[in-house]
Amino acid sequence: MSAARPRIAVVGAAAAGLAAAEGLRRLGWDGVITLVGDEPRLPYDRPPLSKQVLSGAWEPERTALRDSAQLSGLELDLRLGTRATAYDPLERTLTLDGDGPTVLRCAGVVAATGVTPRTLPGADGIEGVHVLRTLDDALVLRRRLAVPGRRLAVVGSGVLGAEAAAVARALGHDVALVGTQNTPMERVLGAEVGGLLAEVHRAHGVTLHTGQAVTGVRTESGRATGVVLADGTTVEADDVLLAVGSVPAVGWLRGPGAEAAGVDLSDGLGCDEFCAAAPGLYGAGDVARWYHPVLRRHLRIEHRMNASEQGLAAARNLLAELEPERFGERRPFAPVPYFWSDQYDLKLQAYGVLAGAERIEVLHLDKDPLRLAALYGTADHAVGALAIGLPPRQARSLRALVATPSTWPEATARLTEAVDA
């Protein structure tokens, strides 16, 4: 009798998990690849949910990352509609809860379980209160917005909240955007750029409630009728979208084995520069907090591009750990982080790290429509760059400002050159 083929399990079947599974096969892993996803759907793309799907421009099938034939070509052991409930990194055993508990022995595991949306106390189960994480979430809210003249309160003025507010307003609905920050996306963009984005939203008819916490959802006969702010104001609404952040989905990784192996779950899955959390356990995507060797800090990035890039990097490094003579040495994962956001006719594109900047240089190019370039940095170095409303070539030129560490004077001198090029 032949020995069982070794198994690598990828837990999480969105962009990061799919990239890891494809990478494993493309790089030459001929053992079993088990891809576990808690939703019954084939892997799909999440960024369109708050934009194209919510607006009705795309039907659900257009979000598919791969079709059935493409997935069949990978020869995956595909476990959809299945949750991972435990993993012991010392024993390398993964427990799944589908039709019944199943324990799999694995040579290695890639954790790509993403994040879970936060809610508000007492908001669960109230009709008309929504989150926006899955395709089903987006379709439920889309059906509500298909009825003309709705009143939508969006709680949370980060990327997701700002995008959803823009879509709902473009559909003609009465939209209120509520946030604890003083401007939309202020935590990432800073006060000056956030203020300019606030003007864009107001010009499109969105009512902004800034610097305000929501203390609860007002209800009548079991359904939402608005939200109550900390100052006592009530924002009337037919539907409420909670976009108040998320928490890394690491519950399945907690346990005595993880503790004994020194797995860090303090803010997602703590990983080193190779995306390794423990021998045989690697992280990718929104759930992973890893050490960036160029920026010399730990990052946890909830953006689509990072998910795909890190999924492949985690797969490559796991194989290098398991069979170094065949797959070579592990490589540090040191990308230039990138994210984009579409709001109305504006495209925001960011390179590097913007949040927490000690200094920001904004180059105003136009106000209507908004066009600008901005540089974000520490006291000494530029670490991030932002383009709003710039043509693709000009936006991409900003990447070079942060691809390698540049002193602040050098980067600011090159900012105008990059935009004028």
Q: At 342, phi and psi to the nearest 5?
A: -110, 120
Q: What is the pLDDT of residue 3?
A: 58
Residue with tokens 């990327």: 159
Contacts of 51 (CB under 8 A, 6+ apart): 57, 163, 167, 342
**Digitized pLDDT (tens) for each residue of the chain, 421 residues in all:** 345 789 999 999 999 999 999 999 999 999 999 999 999 999 999 999 999 999 999 999 999 999 999 999 999 999 999 999 999 999 999 999 977 789 999 999 999 999 999 999 889 999 999 999 999 999 999 999 999 999 999 999 999 999 999 999 999 999 999 999 999 999 999 999 999 999 999 999 999 999 999 999 999 999 999 999 999 999 999 999 999 999 999 999 999 999 999 999 999 999 999 999 999 999 999 999 999 999 889 999 999 999 999 999 999 999 999 999 999 999 999 999 999 999 999 999 999 999 999 999 999 998 889 999 999 999 889 999 999 999 988 999 999 999 987 899 999 998 988 887 6
C-alpha gyration radius of the chain: 22
Q: What domains can be seen in the chain, in order of their start residue?
A: 7-116+247-327 (3.50.50.60), 119-244 (3.50.50.60), 345-420 (3.30.390.30)
Q: DSSP characters for 325-384?
A: HHH----------EEEEEETTEEEEEEE--TT-SEEEEEEEEETTEEEEEEEE-SSEEEE
The per-residue pLDDT for 421 is 66
Q: Report the predicted TM-score, pTM, of the whole model to 2 decimal places.
A: 0.95
What pLDDT sits at residue 312? 98
Q: Where are the beta strands (DSSP E) in 267-345?
A: 269-271, 276-278, 281-283, 288-292, 297-299, 338-343
Q: What 8-state DSSP symbol labels residue 6? A: P
- How many whole angstroms separate alpha carbon 125 and alpha carbon 271? 35
Q: Which residues contact 361 (CB under 8 A, 6 or more apart)?
A: 374, 375, 412, 415
Provide the token pair at 409.
């004077």
